[in-house]
Amino acid sequence: MKRFVLYLARWQASTPVLWLVVSQMGAGLEATVLANLIGGSIFFWIDKFIFRNRIRVEWEVQPAGVCSDCGEPGRVRRLVLAPGGTSRSEYDRRLDEQPQFRCTSCSATKVASLMASKRVAAGALS
């Protein structure tokens, strides 16, 4: 609710400029304030939809395991879900029957190769 009220206040900050324009068309200050309240109430929800965070990245981490690439024991992880590269399809390994966990170093190498082959969007894991 606090964000909504702040959003409406931001809309009201534009009232003087808007009033200068609409006063030439016969609208008064009260109508301008009301129009801004209505516009803010509508566009709050539209802007919230447009600017929501759409990047979903999921990692699965095991505190103790063995890297599937170099065989080093320790903390291992695997990329489970990430935005896709140019194909726009997601990199999705949630249902992988044989997951491959990697140490931090090997994981970074694997992610770099996924980005290079455009299977994962560049910059999505920064």
pLDDT digits (tens, 9 = 90+) for 43-70: 888 887 766 656 678 999 999 999 999 9
| pTM for this prediction | 0.55
* Domain-terminating residue out of 11, 32, 50: 50
User: CA–CA separation, 38 vs 20, rounded Å?
Assistant: 18
35 and 7, same structural domain? Answer: yes
Q: Give the domain range for residue 62.
A: 58-116
Domain count, the chain: 2
**Across 44-48, 69-73, 104-108, least confident range:** 44-48
Q: Which of 32, 50, 68 is the last residue of a domain?
A: 50
Q: Do 63 and 108 share a domain, yes or no?
A: yes
The answer to whether position 100 is within a domain reads yes
Per DSSP, the residues of 57-90 read -EEEEEEEEE-TTT--EEEEEEEEEE--STT---
**45 plus 65 within the same structural domain:** no
- Cβ neighbours of residue 65 under 8 Å, at least 6 residues apart? 73, 74, 75, 76, 101
Rounded Cα gap, residues 89 and 118, in angstroms: 10
Do 82 and 33 share a domain, yes or no?
A: no
Domain check: are 83 and 43 in the same one?
A: no
Mean pLDDT of 69-88: 88
Residue 97 lies in a domain: yes
